[in-house]
Amino acid sequence: MSKIKTAFFCSNCGYESAKWLGKCPSCEQWNTFVEEVITKDNRLAESEWKKLTPDRKESRIISLHEVISTGEERINSADAELNRVLGGGIVTGSIVLVAGEPGIGKSTLFLQEGLRLQHIRTLYISGEESEQQIKMRADRLNINNDNFYLLTETSTQAIFQEIKKLRPQLVIVDSIQTLQSPYIESSAGSVSQIRECTAEFQRFAKETNTPVFLIGHITKDGSIAGPKVLEHMVDTVLQFEGDRHYAYRILRTLKNRFGSTAELGIYEMTAEGMRAVSNPSELLITQKEEQLSGIAIAATVEGLRPLLIEVQALVTQSVYGTPQRTVSGFDLRRLQLLLAVLEKRGGFHFGVKDVFLNIAGGLKVEDPSIDLAVLCALLSSYEDVPLSARTCFAGEVGLSGEIRAVNRIEQRIAEAEKLGFERIFVSKYNQKGVGTQKFDIEIVPVGRVEEVYTQLF
């Protein structure tokens, strides 16, 4: 009997080593090496693969000008939000990795997407749930589709035998961490198993031109479970996120070979499944009967989509020796920078105040154009004077107190006008790119923090 061969793999990046190492030389993470059995009969794997794809073409060297350039074919899904995030639809032959926390709704969303594609023969492979559990969920979604097929299996060899019989036009795998390749003798979910199973589906997707969705788990620190090489192997990486205390879910693109990585789709979790939210601005701005201080509306842009979101600030006298700085959905260091600008340029004594900041709706915003709204919300709470509910803001704040220009200003103004706002504060350096004649909303150009203060208070 031959000796079992083992190796050590970094669970973060997939680096292979003959012995255990405390620190990974590739990604420099500590204590990430795990021992795995790597006995693998490659000849058997290769012969099985040839049986599955008898019509595969042989590889040969060709010059670049011999390649015929064609636009990628896309399958138009019934979900406008998914189409937006993927860059215009599902690309044939692409492999998409979707990751998210447990219970966030990944399985529900992609079961729903598969059921809605009535004209596409879809295979849903589940390694986590039984057929009865999936049927119960499908009944709750209340969508009928005779072209939708189920397979509850974890062995990739058995899966590809069934795929050969059905020849599906779309494959959804839930989840990649539960699958096991017979050619690797380690347990399901290990670094080498995840990498090998993904490689097998990648070969299948490219050689049969079938799109594949791989649903994946995430670790406790929010990164995708498995080696980092997994994200390099796939064409698109989507992150499905949201606070379980809110009904909203966000589908965000982290990598996309066929479109922009700045797009996001917004869904609302309902009893009948995931409902695509076409106008998120109306949901993200809370309706109030009375005007309250410390609230400002920011005109931001996520990808191609303009969003109006509510910024809430609370400034109170500090009870403890060291003032508190607490944020939700915003960068804490950015807040400290804005407070320093107000202290230095405006003479406001925030050094003795506790400051709390929240982006309403559970969103996390990275767009620097939200700076001006954050600054105005802080000033409103400091002075305890409410801002007009019909005013919004779009501008980045520099360290010298100047209001800097932001991109795609016309889209932001148009969205604010559509939602019934009467005034928008923008940087005066943005005026070159704005045709003020075509907007009914009042555009207020400002150049410095002091100007904003005198205009508002």
Please indicate if the annotation marks 104 as binding a ligand. Answer: yes
What is the spatial distance between Cα 297 and Cα 280, in angstroms, rounded to a whole number? Answer: 14
Please give the structure tokens belonging to residue 70.
Answer: 């064609």
Please indicate if the annotation marks 227 as binding a ligand. Answer: no
What is the spatial distance between Cα 273 and Cα 359, in angstroms, rounded to a whole number? Answer: 26
What is the spatial distance between Cα 247 and Cα 222, in angstroms, rounded to a whole number? Answer: 20
Please indicate if the annotation marks 418 as binding a ligand. Answer: no
| Closest to 412 measured CA to CA, from 398, 392, 428 | 392
Report CA 333 to chain centroid distance, whole Å. Answer: 22
What are residue 388's DSSP bridge partners? none
Please indicate if the annotation marks 272 as binding a ligand. Answer: no
Please indicate if the annotation marks 88 as binding a ligand. Answer: no
| Residues 383 and 299: beta-carbon distance below 8 Å | no
Polymer length in residues for the chain = 457
| Residues 419 and 298: beta-carbon distance below 8 Å | no
What Å distances lie between residue 271 and 78, 105, 139, 140, CA to CA? 19, 12, 11, 8
What is the spatial distance between Cα 110 and Cα 90, in angstroms, rounded to a whole number? Answer: 13
Please give the structure tokens belonging to residue 229.
Answer: 């090489």
| Closest to 296 measured CA to CA, from 313, 279, 282 | 313
Please indicate if the annotation marks 102 as binding a ligand. Answer: yes
What is the spatial distance between Cα 70 and Cα 419, in angstroms, rounded to a whole number? Answer: 41
Please indicate if the annotation marks 128 as binding a ligand. Answer: no
Please indicate if the annotation marks 130 as binding a ligand. Answer: no
Report CA 388 to chain centroid distance, whole Å. Answer: 33
Binding site members: 100-107
Question: Residues at the annotated binding site for ATP?
Answer: 100-107
